């Protein structure tokens, strides 16, 4: 019978040597030390042992039991340490990589730039914090002129403000260059507007300006037709509505057909002589057109969005859907 104890010891050692996880170790423990385990079974066999050998048998089983308990305890500590210190488990599934996505407004801005470049415009830049002179004065919007109300904004000092439109870049460009020129400026603008479904206190604009000899309204019309067809597709039609801007004459609002109706997406006109005078161009010699696009509006039309605030809330669920 003592031989039987040795057999169990050998069997245990074989199995024990194959253990590689805490789970396997626990299963092994139950198989040997559990209520129905090998050790308990051995002890039950004591009845079969001759009375004079029972003591020796009992001791042998007990020794084996203690041996197994110790081995399991040691192995458990080792395995626990190992599992804790393991930095990566190569068998675990990887963390999904969250790929970024372009914001719909950025996509529209990039598209506008691409179209403008295709039509021969050069991309220029300008500051968002602007002198009152560039935002208003040089654009033929004198102080106390009621049209300043159309572009109410936040002033930083008496003379400095958050620009209300991209048109000051017209002045900055012409001041620094001689005509002819054909420039396009995408950028951000600010207004003292409420944040509601159709207004945002900060939004995007893109400005186009072409100055040359004998530029006519027909040139403006052709350019805007090409522009909008690139943007919304070849079937796009546009409609001009008379409008008023102090820096263009005549001035127009441009609507595109979309679904059942017409949507306004830009303001435009022929550069006003006063604007040429402000930058030292001779209005008798030079002519030009200018236009200002609303990328937020365009993105709303293109993506079928009815609330401008969605663009600025940065809710990933919204961005991911587009
Ligand atoms: N700057 C005008 C606006 O913000 C748009 C415009 C640009 C109109 C250029 C005419 C020419 O409303």
pLDDT for 1 = 74
| pLDDT one-digit tens code per residue, 30-65 | 999 999 988 888 888 888 888 888 888 888 889 899
What's the pLDDT at 89?
74
Instruction: Return the CATH number at 294.
Output: 3.30.930.10
pLDDT beyond 70 at 17: yes
Residue 150 within any structural domain of the chain: yes
99 in any annotated domain: no
pLDDT tens per residue, range 176-222:
999 999 999 999 999 998 899 989 999 999 999 999 999 999 999 99
| Residues 252 and 126 both lie in one domain | yes
**Are residues 188 and 238 both part of a single domain?**
yes
Q: Looking at the structure, do residues 147 and 267 belong to the same domain, yes or no? A: yes
Domain boundary among 37, 52, 87: 87
User: Is the minimum distance from the CB of 185 to ligand 1 under 6 angstroms?
Assistant: no
- Residue 29 belongs to domain spanning: 2-87
Residues 39 and 148 in one domain: no
92 in any annotated domain: no
| Distance between Cα 245 and ligand 1 center (Å) | 7
103-108: list long-range contacts, CB under 8 Å, 24+ apart. 103/311, 103/319, 104/299, 104/302, 104/303, 104/305, 104/311, 104/319, 104/322, 105/204, 105/295, 105/296, 105/299, 105/311, 107/299, 108/295, 108/298, 108/299, 108/302
Residue 217, in any domain of the structure: yes
57 found inside a domain: yes
Q: Distance between CA atoms of 208 and 188, rounded to whole angstroms?
A: 14
Q: For residue range 237-286, what is the model confidence (pLDDT) as tens digits?
A: 999 999 999 999 999 999 999 888 899 999 999 999 999 999 999 999 99
236 and 307 both lie in a single domain = yes
Ligand 1 in contact with 140 (CB < 6 A)? no
Q: If you take atom 9 of ligand 1, which residue's CA is the nearest one?
A: 291
In a domain, 97, yes or no: no
The pTM (predicted TM-score) of the whole model is 0.71
Does residue 93 belong to any structural domain of this protein?
no
| Model confidence at 87: pLDDT above 70 | no
Q: Is the CB of 204 under 6 A from ligand 1?
A: no
User: In the structure, what pLDDT confidence band is assigned to residue 86 with cuts at 50, 70 and 90?
Assistant: low
Instruction: Report d(CA 60, CA 65) in Å as an integer.
Output: 9
Among 41, 60, 87, the domain boundary falls at: 87
């Amino acid at each position: 019978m003592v031989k039987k104890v040795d057999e169990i010891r050998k069997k245990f050692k074989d199995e024990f040597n194959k253990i590689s996880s805490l789970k396997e170790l626990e299963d092994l423990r139950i198989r040997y030390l559990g209520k129905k385990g090998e050790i308990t079974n051995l002890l039950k066999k004591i009845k079969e042992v001759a009375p004079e050998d029972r003591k020796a048998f009992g001791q042998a089983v007990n020794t084996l039991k203690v041996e197994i308990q110790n081995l399991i305890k040691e192995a458990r500590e080792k395995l626990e340490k190992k599992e804790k210190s393991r930095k990566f488990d190569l068998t675990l599934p990887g963390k999904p990589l969250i790929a970024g996505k372009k914001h719909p407004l950025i996509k529209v801005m990039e598209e506008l730039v691409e179209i403008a470049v295709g039509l021969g415009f050069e991309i220029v830049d300008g500051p968002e914090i602007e002198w009152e002179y560039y935002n208003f004065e040089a654009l033929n919007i004198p102080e106390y002129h009621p049209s300043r109300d159309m572009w109410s904004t936040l002033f930083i000092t008496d003379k400095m403000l958050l620009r209300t439109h991209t048109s000051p870049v017209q002045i900055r460009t012409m001041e620094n260059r001689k005509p002819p020129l054909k420039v396009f400026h995408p950028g951000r603008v600010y207004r003292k507007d409420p944040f509601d479904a159709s207004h945002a206190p900060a939004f995007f604009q893109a400005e186009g300006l072409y100055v040359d000899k004998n530029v006519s309204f027909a040139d403006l019309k052709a350019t805007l037709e090409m522009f909008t067809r690139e943007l919304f597709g070849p079937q796009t039609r546009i409609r001009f509505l008379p409008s008023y801007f102090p820096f263009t004459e005549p001035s127009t609002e441009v609507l595109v057909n979309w679904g059942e109706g017409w949507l306004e997406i830009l303001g435009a006109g022929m550069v006003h002589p006063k604007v040429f005078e402000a930058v030292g161009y001779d209005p008798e010699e030079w002519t030009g057109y200018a236009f200002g696009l609303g990328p937020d509006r365009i993105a709303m039309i293109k993506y079928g969005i009815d609330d401008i605030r969605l663009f600025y809330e940065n809710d990933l669920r919204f961005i991911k859907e587009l």
